């Protein structure tokens, strides 16, 4: 191994050599290779570029990379051409030759591959001018689009492992901890505990054998921030872990990652091997006398494994059951030794803080929430993807400026932050700054960074039922409040959406929610009621409509909706009759058709196939509305 036992003094010489070699390239083409773009055949796009670059003798002029996730996931595969920063989206293998001939050789822009802003309807040529990117501050995630995550030299070329070198040559462990404390960095995995303080507690804990853990058991529906970081920039996470281990006094670490994230597992495994070769891991790191090793543990995918004591149990080979705290893992964790656990994003912040300083970092964000946060922006939103913004950015800025607003001219209704255990925040709180305290006061939480946007067609009762069902299924079942309480709450919500709700159900839900919240053993149970509590707080009228009026205002709950064919509009085209899967529609050609409500399964096929110019099939929000419209038509002699 050429770089084995490399010393600190040699590192900068090798870094300069890497950078010098790359100066011969006049152009750089990067292709997004995150999990989302892999599904859109980005690998085929890359191979086509590679083949044509060789055929056209451009190999010495063009550097080609397949990178990690660029963030703008719904626009993949994404191709960015440097140094101009030309941004092409939804690129296919068939587009590659045109890109090389027109853009690379003849310096012309291909209009059809440009991004069109849904608000201004303008085509945008440069990546930095795309509103989705323009409004962000991509300190942690930005390098994902610049480097090949499987090549350590790419990480070194952008300054990788400089922070580690600085720590090992210039700083004592206590100084590193103080720098992290003064930065104000808080854990990005959920609770937001001060990272430096956690490190300090672990360092001061009795015993010489200590461990650190990187938590990549990211299981929130719609969330993929940690996975994308581990896929796209694994060395930044490793460097943060090595620095943390030095500060705490640990000589062994674990990366706990879901087995269902194969690309993340592959890239972090490769990064560990490369770090060993370059002597960033192993014995006597860079000749400093400090030794540290990392093992990768693949989790089975249980949501509760994200809770730190359950995660420890899983690493030890036991069932992922949480245990009461205190003692906290920092004092008594893995194999009963002091253990520090941070998530992927937290570790990735560490090299940045060490390189640029705590003072610089602490100026970003709010008084109590420093730095940036990566959010997974999904749901009813024009620009789906990963968004990194300074703490304190408002929900409105993220949803309408970065996210591009709600599709199809629909109205915004709510946003859930913090994953399945987060709260649903209404329109009147859109100007809420995103920080740990503000979200908590609103009944939600930062969590790991999931952000699900909902529009006017969303039923908030159904949303609460969906997320509570998820957490109920993922409950480990160890403690009674979570095991039984969440089940009872789900049963009540199921009754309500079926039209069988009772007047006392709202009070029962609130009482059960508080019992589960206050009596559960771990964070899963303690936060599970949040979707119910916040929807009851902000959307109580929807619950009342379901219970008292047997009506779903959003026309979502199947048992409470009805499809009806307007006699004055029906032209008797037979399309609805022929496409009804249960033969619930009767009628003759050129005569009014009728839906048998007893047979109807509410699939909506009749409305879907009805010609737009006719628009005879309507969806009603309840039995009462059906009765009213029927009486109205009968009264007119219909």
The reply to whether omega before 567 is within 30° of 0 (cis) is no
- CATH 3.10.20.600 domain span(s) along the chain: 372-455
Q: Report how far apart the first and last C-alpha atoms of the chain are (Å, whole number).
A: 87
CATH pick for 372-455 out of 3.40.50.10490, 3.60.150.10, 3.40.50.300, 3.10.20.600: 3.10.20.600
Is the pLDDT at 67 greater than 70? The verdict is yes
Query: Tokens for 485?
Result: 């309480």
Query: What pLDDT is recorded for position 523?
Result: 87
* Band of residue 371 on the pLDDT scale cut at 50, 70, 90: very high
CA–CA distance, 155 with 447 (Å, rounded to integer): 29
Alpha-carbon dihedral of residues 201, 207, 213, 219, nearest 10 degrees? -70
Query: What pLDDT is recorded for position 635?
Result: 64
Q: What is the mean pLDDT of residues 461-489?
A: 94
CA–CA distance, 563 with 620 (Å, rounded to integer): 6
95-104 pLDDT, tens digit each: 999 999 999 9
- Mean pLDDT score of the chain: 94
Q: For the domain bounded by 460-548, which CATH number is listed? A: 1.20.1440.230
CA–CA distance, 591 with 38 (Å, rounded to integer): 51
Query: What pLDDT is recorded for position 190?
Result: 75
Three-state secondary structure call for residue 591: coil
- Decide if domain 19-136 falls under CATH 3.30.530.20: no
Long-range contact set of residues 194-198: C-beta below 8 Å, sequence gap at least 24: 195/342, 195/346, 195/349, 198/330, 198/340, 198/342
Query: What pLDDT is recorded for position 223?
Result: 84
Q: What is the mean pLDDT of residues 107-123?
A: 92
Chain centroid, CA 94 distance in Å: 31
Cβ atoms of 160 and 236 within 8 Å: the answer is: yes
* Band of residue 633 on the pLDDT scale cut at 50, 70, 90: low
Q: What is the mean pLDDT of residues 371-378?
A: 96
Torsion sign (Cα): 120, 122, 123, 126? negative
Backbone angles phi, psi at 34, to 5 degrees: -65, 170
- CATH 3.40.30.10 domain span(s) along the chain: 19-136
Q: Say what the pTM is.
A: 0.93
Q: For the domain bounded by 561-635, which CATH number is listed? A: 3.30.70.20
Buried b (16+ CB within 10 A) or exposed e, 547-557: bebbbbbbbbb
CA–CA distance, 612 with 624 (Å, rounded to integer): 26
CATH T-level assignment (fold) for domain 152-362: Rossmann fold (3.40.50)
Pick from 77, 78, 75, 46: which is nearest to 62 by CA? 46
196-242 pLDDT, tens digit each: 999 999 999 999 999 999 999 988 887 889 999 999 999 999 999 99
> What residues are paired with 28 via a beta bridge?
63, 82
- CATH 1.20.1440.230 domain span(s) along the chain: 460-548
* Band of residue 120 on the pLDDT scale cut at 50, 70, 90: confident
């Amino acid at each position: 191994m050429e770089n084995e036992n490399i010393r600190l003094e040699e590192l900068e010489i090798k870094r300069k050599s890497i950078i010098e070699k790359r100066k011969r390239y006049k152009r750089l083409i990067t292709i997004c290779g995150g999990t989302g773009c892999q599904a859109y055949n980005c690998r085929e796009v890359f191979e086509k570029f590679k083949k044509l670059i060789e055929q056209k003798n451009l190999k010495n002029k063009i550097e080609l990379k397949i990178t990690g996730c660029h963030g703008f996931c719904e626009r993949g595969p994404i191709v960015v051409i440097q140094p101009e920063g030309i941004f092409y989206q939804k690129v296919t293998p068939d587009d590659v030759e045109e890109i090389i001939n027109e853009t690379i050789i003849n310096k012309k822009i291909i209009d059809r591959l440009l991004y069109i802003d849904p608000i201004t309807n303008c085509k945008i040529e440069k990546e930095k001018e795309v509103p989705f990117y323009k409004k962000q501050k991509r300190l942690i995630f930005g390098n994902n689009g610049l480097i090949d995550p499987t090549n350590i030299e790419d990480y070194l070329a952008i300054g990788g492992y400089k922070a580690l070198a600085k720590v090992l040559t210039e700083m004592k462990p206590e100084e590193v901890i103080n720098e992290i404390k003064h930065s104000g960095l808080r854990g990005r995995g959920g609770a937001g505990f001060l990272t430096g303080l956690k490190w300090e507690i672990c360092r001061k804990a009795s015993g010489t054998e200590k461990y650190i853990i990187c938590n990549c058991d990211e299981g929130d529906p719609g969330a993929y921030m940690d996975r994308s970081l581990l896929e796209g920039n694994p060395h930044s996470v490793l460097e943060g872990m090595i620095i943390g281990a030095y500060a705490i006094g640990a000589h062994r670490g674990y990366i706990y990652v879901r087995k269902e994230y194969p690309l993340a597992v592959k890239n972090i495994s490769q990064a560990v091997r490369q770090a060993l070769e370059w002597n960033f891991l192993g014995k006597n790191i860079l000749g400093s006398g400090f030794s540290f090793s990392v093992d990768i543990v693949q989790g089975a995918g249980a949501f509760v494994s994200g809770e730190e004591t359950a995660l420890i149990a899983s690493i030890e080979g036991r069932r992922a059951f949480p245990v009461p705290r205190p003692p906290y893992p920092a004092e008594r964790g893995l194999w009963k030794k002091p253990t520090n656990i941070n998530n992927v994003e937290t570790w990735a912040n560490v090299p940045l803080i060490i390189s640029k300083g705590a003072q610089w970092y602490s100026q970003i964000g709010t008084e109590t929430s420093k730095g940036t946060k990566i959010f997974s922006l999904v749901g009813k939103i024009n620009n789906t993807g990963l968004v990194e913004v300074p703490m304190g950015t408002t929900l409105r800025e993220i949803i309408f400026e970065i996210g591009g607003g709600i599709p199809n001219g629909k109205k915004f209704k709510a946003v859930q932050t913090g994953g399945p255990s987060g709260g649903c925040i209404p329109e009147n709180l859109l100007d809420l700054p995103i920080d740990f305290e503000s979200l908590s006061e609103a009944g939600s939480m930062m969590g790991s960074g999931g952000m699900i946007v909902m529009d006017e067609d969303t039923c908030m009762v159904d949303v609460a039922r969906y997320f509570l069902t998820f957490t109920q299924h993922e409950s480990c079942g160890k403690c009674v409040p979570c095991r039984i309480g969440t089940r009872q709450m789900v049963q009540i919500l199921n009754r309500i959406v079926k039209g069988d709700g009772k007047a006392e159900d709202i009070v029962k839900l609130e009482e059960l929610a508080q019992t589960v919240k206050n009596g559960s053993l771990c964070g899963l149970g303690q936060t599970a009621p949040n979707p119910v509590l916040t929807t009851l707080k902000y959307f109580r009228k929807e619950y009342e409509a379901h219970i008292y009026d047997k009506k779903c205002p959003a026309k979502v709950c199947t048992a409470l909706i009805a499809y009806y064919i307007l006699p004055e509009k029906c032209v008797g085209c037979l399309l609805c009759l022929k496409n009804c899967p249960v033969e619930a529609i009767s009628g003759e050609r050129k005569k009014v058709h009728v839906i048998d409500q007893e047979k109807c399964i509410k699939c909506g096929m009749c409305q879907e196939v009805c010609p737009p110019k006719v628009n005879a099939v309507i969806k009603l929000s309840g039995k009462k509305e059906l009765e009213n419209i029927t009486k109205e038509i009968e009264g007119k002699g219909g």
